[in-house]
């Protein structure tokens, strides 16, 4: 494990795509990652076809392992429950 992995804050996020779908991901730098999704080949194939994307949900997690587990959990939610997370995030 590198020093960066020990000290970095990890984020689980949803992006709202231009077709109104949601994309879930994890990162240590949310601003860089959104820029990558919108402007570079480093963005996910899914989002490259659905640009522009915007941040819809963000959750701080302590480490990469927990971030990946949480991303998996929220990907398993129904569309209605995912949308409720977004609503709660934006009105919290």
The total of other beta-carbon atoms located within 10 Å of residue 74's CB is: 17
Q: For the chain, what is the mean pLDDT?
A: 93
Domain 7-91 class, CATH top level = alpha beta
Residues 53-66 have a mean pLDDT of: 97
Against a cut of 0.85, is the pTM above it? yes
Distance CA 79, CA 3 (A): 37
**Coil vs helix vs strand at 58:** strand
Which percentage of the chain shows pLDDT scores above 70? Answer: 92
Query: pLDDT tens for residues 7-47?
Result: 689 999 999 999 999 999 999 999 999 999 999 999 999 99
Residues 67-77 have a mean pLDDT of: 98
């Amino acid at each position: 494990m590198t020093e960066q992995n020990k000290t970095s804050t990890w984020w689980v996020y949803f992006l709202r795509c231009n077709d109104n779908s949601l994309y879930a991901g994890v990162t240590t730098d949310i601003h860089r990652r959104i820029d990558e999704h919108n402007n570079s080949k480093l963005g996910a194939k899914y989002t490259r076809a659905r640009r522009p994307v915007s941040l819809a949900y963000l959750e701080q997690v302590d480490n990469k392992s927990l971030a990946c587990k949480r991303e998996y959990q929220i990907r398993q939610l129904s569309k209605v429950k995912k949308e409720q997370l977004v609503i709660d995030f934006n009105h919290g």
